[in-house]
Amino acid sequence: MSVSTHAVKCARCKCVLETLPDAKPEPRAACPQCGEGDTLENVRREVGEYIQEHISKTIHGALVDGVRGSKNLKVTSDFHPKGGHRFIVDLEPR
Ligand SMILES: [Zn+2]
């Protein structure tokens, strides 16, 4: 899954972040509404974590569904996403 094809949004306002390639000392991205932002590098990393978390949540859900009805196999459904991301992307619905 490529982040570059998705618009990065502010988790709070759901506004697409503005990139500020000329910002000093590093290029930044920031929410035009609330000003939440960080360097492009940090934004990219945080979005990466968000995507990873989304994927593990999806896999976990599939696992729990898959063993439902089986008497011998148990999967605990205690996956707690860390949450609290400042930046998100719209991921394709499954
Ligand atoms: Zn915002």
Q: What are the residue boundaries of the structural domains of the chain, listed by start?
A: 3-81
Mean pLDDT, the chain, rounded, equals 84
The pLDDT assigned to 1 comes to 43
User: Rounded to the nearest whole angstrom, what is the distance from the C-alpha of residue 71 to the centroid of ligand 1?
Assistant: 47
Question: In angstroms, rounded to a whole number, what is the distance separating the alpha carbons of residues 51 and 68?
Answer: 26
Ligand 1 ion: residues within 5 Å (CB): 10, 12-13, 31, 33-34, 36
In the predicted structure, residue 4 carries a pLDDT above the cut 50: no
User: Rounded to the nearest whole angstrom, what is the distance from the C-alpha of residue 17 to the centroid of ligand 1?
Assistant: 8
The pLDDT assigned to 73 comes to 64
Question: Per 3-state DSSP, what percentage of the chain is helix, strand, and coil (rounded to 5)?
Answer: 35, 15, 50
Instruction: State if pTM tops 0.75.
Output: no
User: Rounded to the nearest whole angstrom, what is the distance from the C-alpha of residue 56 to the centroid of ligand 1?
Assistant: 26
